[in-house]
Amino acid sequence: MTGTAGANARTAHVVGAGLAGLAAAVRLARGGRRVHLYEAAQQAGGRCRSYLDAELGCRVDNGNHLVVSGNLAAMAYISETGAQATFATADRAVYPFVDLATAERWSVRPTEGRVPWWLFVPARRVKGTSLLDYLDAERLARAPEEAVVTDILDTRKIAYRRLWAPLCAAALNTEPERASARLLGRLFRDTFGQGGAALHPLLPLEGLSESLVDPALRCLDASGGSILFGHRLRGLEFDGARVTALDFGKAQVALAPGDSVVLAVTAPVASDLVPGITVPDAFRGIVNAHFRFDPPPGAAPFTGIIGGMAEWVFAKPGILSTTSSAAEAIIDRPAEEIAAALWGDVVQSLDLGSAPLPPWRVVKEKRATFAATPAQLRRRPGAQTRWENLLLAGDWTDTGWPSTIEGAIQSGFTAAAALAR
C-alpha cells in the first residue's frame, strides 16, 4: 500500500463500507488523500461479506459471488489491497452444468485466446447449442434501447433455456421478459467475448470478508485513515456548490474547504440524502441457502443448474450453498419450504442419492439489486453531482455493468478518479 497521507493532505469522507466505498477509499488513500470511512452497520462489506452462523457452526458468505480474471476493476482492487494470496485462481475456464429435467451434463470450456475457436467445438459449448446461437450476443448488444431479452431471442430454442435465460438471471438478476437486451449482450461480449483467459474463476480460500473486505480495511489503517462503524448518515449540509457538513445524528462532521465526500450507499438512501437526483427505484431479490454438508469427493467448486429453483450450487469444505436470482416467485415462501426444494436440486445436481436435508440457513435479500430493465437503466446516475465535492458510488450508478462486484468496484474507482481531476 502506497500513498500514506501527509499532514497537509486533503480529506476524503467516504460514506458506506460496501465494495464501492472500500474501492473508493483504497484508491483515494493510494493517491495521498486522508480517508475517513463511515459505515452504518457494525461491519464492512455490505452484501459481500462473511459471518459466523451460530446454528450452522461455521462461517458462511451472505451471498455467492464469482470474480473472474477478466474483471479488470476487481483484479486491480485485489492487487492494490494485497489480497491475491487469499484466492484460489483456476488455471483454465471451466463451467460445469447439469439440466435437472434431462440429467444431461456438460461443461462450457472457452479456449484461452480472444478468437472464439471453442464455439466451433460442440463439446466446449452449451450442450445442444449451435455456433449460430452465440451470434445472438451481437444481436442483443445492438438491440434498441427499449428492447428486452425476449424481444430479441427465440424462447423456444434450447440456447435460450440453457444459455441466455440462466445468464440473464445470474448476471442481471432480472427476468428475461423485462431485462435489457442490450445490457445482456454487452455483458456477454465483455466476458465470454474476451476469451477463456478472461474467464478463470477466482474463489476465496476462506470467505468474501477475508478476500474482499479485510485486506482493504488493513490498507486503510496502514495509510492512516479512520474507519467508523455504527455511523449512519442522517443528512448532508450544503452551501452553494459544496457539501459543508455530514450529519450523523449524535455527531456532526464539518468539512474543510478542500474536503470531499463519496456517497457509497444504496440507491434509496442516496435519494433521501441528495436533493433532486434520479436513481433506480425498482429492485429484484435473491435467495441464498447454506447447507451444512460435506461436498462429495471431486465436486466442482460450483455447478450451474438448469431447470431447478437453484441456479448455482457452490461447494466448500463442510458447506454447500445455492443461489436463486430474480427470486420474486419464491422469496415470500416459508424458509422451510424453500430449503427443502433447494436441497432437492443440490441432491440431484451433485448425485447425493437419498441424503436427507441437513442443517440449513436460507438468506433472503428482497432488494439485492436494481432491476436491470431499460427504464431502470436510464435512472442510473453518473458519479458526478451538481455539488463539486460530492461524488456517488455504488453498483446502481452508471457503470456500464449490471449490479455485480465488478460494477461496485468500478464505481468506487470512478468516484476516486473524479476527485483526482
Report which of 345, 356, 353, 335 is spatially closest to residue 311, judged by C-alpha positions: 345
Alpha-carbon distances of 351 from 102, 108, 119, 315, 346, rounded to whole Å: 14, 20, 29, 13, 8
Region of 379 on the Ramachandran plot (φ > 0 left; ψ -120 to 50 alpha; else beta)? alpha
Closest-CA residue to 171 (of 157, 156, 154, 183): 183
First to last CA, the chain: 21
Question: Beta strands 302-306 and 95-99: pairing type?
Answer: parallel
Between the alpha carbon of residue 203 and those of residues 33, 211, 250, 352, 377, the distances in Å are 31, 9, 40, 23, 29
Q: What is the pLDDT of residues 230-247, one digit of tens each?
A: 999 999 999 999 999 999
Contact 19, 208 (CB under 8 A): no
Q: Could you read off the pLDDT tens digit of each residue along the chain, which spans 421 residues?
A: 444 444 456 999 999 999 999 999 999 999 999 999 999 999 999 999 999 999 999 999 999 999 999 999 999 999 999 999 999 999 999 999 999 999 999 999 999 999 999 999 999 999 999 999 999 999 999 999 999 999 999 999 999 999 999 999 999 999 999 999 999 999 999 999 999 999 999 999 999 999 999 999 999 999 999 999 999 999 999 999 999 999 999 999 999 999 999 999 999 999 999 999 999 999 999 999 999 999 999 999 999 999 999 999 999 999 999 999 999 999 999 999 999 999 999 999 999 999 999 999 999 999 999 999 999 999 999 999 999 999 999 999 999 999 999 999 999 999 999 998 7
pLDDT reported for residue 420? 86
Quote the pLDDT of residue 1: 43
Domain boundaries, the chain: 11-86+209-281+373-420, 92-198, 283-370
CB 73 within 8 A of CB 23: yes
Strand partners, 323: 288, 312
Residue 45's Cβ-side half-sphere holds a number of Cα atoms within 13 Å equal to 20
CB 286 within 8 A of CB 324: yes
Q: What is the C-alpha separation between 360 and 345, in angstroms, rounded?
A: 14
Report the C-alpha gap between 416 and 44 in whole angstroms. 19
What does the block give as the cell for 251? 455527531
pLDDT at 421: 79
Distance CA 187, CA 184 (A): 5
What pLDDT shows up at residue 39?
A: 99
pLDDT tens digits, 261-287: 999 999 999 999 999 999 999 999 999
Q: Is 274 left (phi over 0), alpha (psi -120 to 50) or beta?
A: beta
* Residues 259, 242 contacting (CB under 8 angstroms): no
Please name the residue that has the C-alpha cell 455456433.
131
Distance CA 23, CA 27 (A): 6
Q: Could you tell me the CA-to-CA distances from 193 to 35, 90, 184, 401, 416 in Å, in that order?
A: 37, 19, 12, 15, 29
Over the range 274-303, which residues count as b (16 or more CB within 10 Å of their CB) and which as e? beebebbeebbbbbbbbbbbebeeebbbbb
Grid cell listed for 259: 474536503
Q: Which residue type occupies 45?
A: G
pLDDT of the residue at 9: 67
| CATH superfamily name and code, 11-86+209-281+373-420 | FAD/NAD(P)-binding domain (3.50.50.60)
Q: What pTM does this model have?
A: 0.96
